[in-house]
Amino acid sequence: MRILGIELRRTAAPVLGVLAVLVMVGLLHWGPSMKNSTAWTRQWTTSAEFIRLTFLFVWPLALGAGGLQGLRDRRSGVEELFGSTPRPRAQRVAWTFGAVAVALTAGYAVVSAVGAVQVASATDYFHLGWLPVALVGVLALVGGAWLGMGVGRLAPSPLTPPALAVAGFALMVLGLEPAAGAFRWTLLLPSLPSPVTVFASVAWSVTAVQAVWFAGVAAAGFLLVALRRAWPGVLPLLMAGAVAVPLLPSAPEGVWTPDAAAAELVCHEGLCLTRAHEDERPALTGPAREALRALAKLPSPPTSVREVAAPVRPVDGRGPEPAEAVWVHLDEFTYFRRVPPTAEQVTAYLVAGAGTRSCYGQYVPAAGARELAARTVMTAWLTGRFEPLPMYRSWVSRETDGLAAEAWEHLRSLPGPDQAARVQAARDTQAACAGDALTTLMAGTT
């Protein structure tokens, strides 16, 4: 341990550890990892995954810093002197490698602890599924630095460290949008795709294969420095790649596995929330109760509010949802934000569209104006106030306002029982995403 302490003082390992902490925390605090329910401070799984996402910048830094460390003996002019000693080279360099590993592991642990403190106060849903992702992250970060040290020894040039950093960053950027058929190769990179839902996590099989790969990377880096001949040091890298590549999934769908425990619904007094968001019950109980009271005006009103356990707004839109409940996706109206929405805002979202969600996906189609107009009219009938919906106003054309005004005037011209029947039928159509809710409201007009 005394030798390890000396190496920590002599090398740049502590500086590298501090830089890694600063870069990771900075990216996590000011980047997309602070948004929605997947924020790195809200759930254990997404916290570990977002920390791995910062490797887009941190891993090239570790690779370049390792290359700089690999030049130490050559720059100090002691390489031939150390090479003439009877002490095995592997035994001598092991302490230097250990110092780099300790510094980076400590830095990673600090960042994880910062996230863990905030996650523990944000959710009651705890599990250990995030731990393998974090451990592989440590192995990948240390392996990158060790590989840089090995390359620095092979190419002892002042240009090696910056070249390694640039090459590492280029690889990370290329992995963001892989070419057709090259997806599995991107999983050999240390970063992970940005999390899109708290109801899925990285598959254990992917994590295990990545562990094998990055262990091979670390071993190759060590052997490139420890062995007098360099070529045997490449063998662990080649062997790990030969094992890992065929076992990695060829499509993004194979990376993630559903987290059934996080998606499990817990119901109480008409409000059903997933276990991952069970801690939001005190804030949502009042708005849910008010929304159900407003919807009781319908002939067949919903009897519960139930959370949707799915990624926010699939590209192709949602499927049908049973009409006996109000289905809510907390990310669709950015419930999770720095300043939480008021109870009135939550209630307005639940009542919108007579307690139904939009059917379209991530992009509003040309026919989206008709759907929004129908949801606007249904909401106005329940609340008695004809006004635009609070969501997505900037995404649609002015056509929505004209369609909604025409349908609202037509609906108000009908007898009370007919109005209720039309709104109920339109709600059922909207809930099923089958047909045109506006046409249902305007039935009988020409």
179 or 257, higher pLDDT? 257
259 or 365, higher pLDDT? 259
Query: In this predicted model, what pLDDT tens digit does every residue of 224-243 receive, in sequence order?
Result: 988 877 778 899 999 999 99
Whether 70 has a pLDDT exceeding 90, the answer reads no
Query: In this predicted model, what pLDDT tens digit does every residue of 155-177 receive, in sequence order?
Result: 888 899 999 999 999 999 988 88
* pLDDT value at residue 317: 80
* pLDDT value at residue 284: 95
Instruction: Tell me what the mean pLDDT of segment 5-30 comes to.
Output: 85
* pLDDT value at residue 444: 54
* pLDDT value at residue 446: 41
* Concatenated DSSP letters of 261-289: HHH-EEEETTEEEEGGGGGGHHHHHHHHH
What are residue 268's phi and psi, to 5 degrees? Answer: -160, 120
Q: Give the rounded distance of the alpha carbon of 293 from its chain centre.
A: 35
Query: In this predicted model, what pLDDT tens digit does every residue of 334-382 receive, in sequence order?
Result: 788 778 889 999 999 999 999 999 888 777 776 778 888 999 999 999 9
Answer yes or no: are the C-beta atoms of 287 and 350 closer than 8 Å: yes
pLDDT band at residue 78 using 50, 70 and 90 as cut-offs: very low
**Nearest-5° angle of CA 434, CA 436, CA 437?**
100
Mean per-residue pLDDT over the chain, rounded: 87
pLDDT band at residue 391 using 50, 70 and 90 as cut-offs: low
Rg of the chain, C-alpha, whole Å: 28
Q: What is the pTM of this model?
A: 0.87
**Sequence-ordered strand ranges (E) for 141-243:** 200-202
Whether 79 has a pLDDT exceeding 70, the answer reads no
**Sequence-ordered strand ranges (E) for 106-249:** 200-202
